[in-house]
């Protein structure tokens, strides 16, 4: 057995292709003093990965050419020289796209697989859930009775945002692509309404779903959806900007928002968010999300794909073509 790793071979242009990455096999790493080795079982596939491989200014340095691809992963401690981690412990962290990883324990979270399966701890109870929790509650600041609209509502973050909005007494309206995803959002996740942006009547359908206007818009997409929502925002509305997936694979500079004037006239507040900004409060999010999940208030679905590390580029692209439903996870 060796350590198989997915490494960045070149900077992608447009949609990711298989030649942008390369598979390498190396020796299984041995933990040193105060370290432990993890056998990785699941890898989180997240829209932000497309930005991580671009060579430009961002909130984290880009993945270097020849470096193992960055990713949140979950696995089992296999060998340990660390007092706080024992063989058999289930853990998650930024272990990367590989079969084995060695860690000193920094930013590693032990997870309770009796509460939820291992893959859920890199999904709704992991980074996407933390992003939804802090992005909606701290940045969006929803008040009981308000209307919260969420784009990419069937995805890993959006699905959690809408459910938290409902827990907080808000009207939750999702935007998703296609009738199947909209049915999932309303019938399984419990949103009050869902608008199919592929239906051809986005503005009218959104108005019907949010007749009192929009107080909080959780932004995951950008583009035409953002322009449409801006014209229906209420006074002093809040827009947490979590992602702009419509532009992640653009090969030229995307057209900017056409309706930005609404930010002025409606006195809106738009704020970007990166979950690392709340690193010291992650235990709070884990505890609250876990409690809601245990009580049946928070439903979580993973879209787990087989194929191992060799399938990584193809499975990752499902995020950008709308081919997944729920949190996309690759089984190692």
Position 60 scores a pLDDT of 92
What's the rounded Cα separation, in Å, for the pair 107 and 92? 9
Is 81 domain-assigned? yes
Q: What is the model's pTM?
A: 0.92
**In a shared domain, residues 118 and 132:** no
What pLDDT sits at residue 325? Answer: 83
| Shared domain check, 155 and 107 | no
Contacts of 205 (CB under 8 A, 6+ apart): 195, 196, 199
Structural domains counted in the chain: 2
Query: What pLDDT is attached to residue 38?
Result: 98
Domain-embedded: residue 67: yes
DSSP string, 200-261: S-HHHHHHHH-TT-EEEEEBSS-HHHHHHHHTTEEEEEEEEE---GGGTT-SSPPPPPS-TH
Clarify whether residues 23 and 88 are in a common domain: yes
Q: What is the mean pLDDT of each run of 10 residues along the chain (332 residues)?
A: 96 94 98 98 95 91 97 98 98 98 96 95 96 98 98 95 98 97 97 96 97 98 95 98 81 79 97 95 96 96 95 95 90 98
Are both 192 and 222 inside the same structural domain?
yes
Q: Quick one: 81 and 206 in the same domain?
A: no
Q: Are residues 38 and 105 in the same domain?
A: yes
Whether residues 250 and 183 fall in one domain: yes
Q: How far is CA 157 from the centre of its chain?
A: 5
In this structure, are 239 and 132 located in the same domain? yes
Q: Same structural domain for residues 138 and 117?
A: no
Per DSSP, 283 falls in state H
281: in domain: no
Residues spanned by the domain of 148: 127-276
pLDDT at 250: 65
Scored b (16 or more CB within 10 A) or e, 45-61 reads: bbbbbbbbbeeeeeeee
Residue 43 confidence (pLDDT): 98
Residues 56 and 135 in one domain: no
Residues 191 and 239 in one domain: yes
Q: Considering the domain boundaries, does residue 285 fall inside one? A: no
- Which one, of 41, 27, 28, 30, lies nearest residue 81 by Cα? 30
Q: What per-residue confidence (pLDDT) applies to 251?
A: 66
């Amino acid at each position: 057995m060796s350590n198989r790793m997915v490494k960045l071979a070149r900077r992608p242009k447009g949609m990711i292709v298989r030649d942008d990455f390369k598979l390498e096999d190396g020796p299984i790493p041995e933990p040193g003093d105060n370290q432990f080795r993890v056998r990785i079982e699941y890898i989180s596939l997240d829209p932000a990965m497309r930005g991580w491989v671009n060579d430009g200014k961002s909130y984290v340095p880009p993945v270097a050419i020849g470096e193992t691809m960055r990713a949140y992963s979950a696995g089992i401690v296999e060998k340990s020289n660390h007092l706080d981690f024992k063989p058999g412990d289930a853990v998650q962290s930024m272990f990367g796209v590989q079969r084995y990883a060695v860690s000193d324990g920094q930013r590693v979270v032990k997870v309770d697989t009796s509460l939820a399966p291992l893959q859920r701890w890199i999904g709704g109870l992991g980074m996407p859930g933390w992003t939804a929790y802090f992005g909606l509650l701290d940045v969006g600041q929803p008040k009981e009775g308000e209307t919260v609209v969420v784009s990419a509502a069937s995805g890993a973050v959006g699905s959690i945002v809408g459910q938290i909005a409902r827990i907080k007494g808000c009207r939750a309206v999702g935007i998703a692509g296609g009738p199947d995803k909209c049915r999932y959002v309303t019938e399984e996740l419990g949103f009050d309404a869902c608008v199919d942006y592929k239906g051809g009547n986005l503005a009218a359908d959104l108005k019907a779903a949010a007749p009192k206007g929009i107080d909080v818009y959780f932004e995951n997409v950008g583009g035409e959806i953002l322009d449409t929502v801006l014209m229906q925002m209420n006074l002093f509305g809040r827009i947490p900007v979590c992602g702009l997936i419509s532009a992640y694979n653009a090969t030229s500079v995307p057209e900017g928002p056409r309706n930005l004037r609404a930010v002025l006239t409606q006195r809106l507040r738009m704020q970007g968010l990166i979950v690392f900004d709340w690193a010291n409060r992650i235990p709070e999010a884990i505890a609250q999300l876990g409690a809601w999940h245990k009580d049946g208030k928070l439903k979580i679905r993973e879209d787990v794909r087989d194929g191992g590390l060799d399938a990584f580029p193809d499975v990752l692209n499902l995020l950008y073509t709308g081919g997944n439903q729920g949190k996309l996870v690759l089984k190692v």
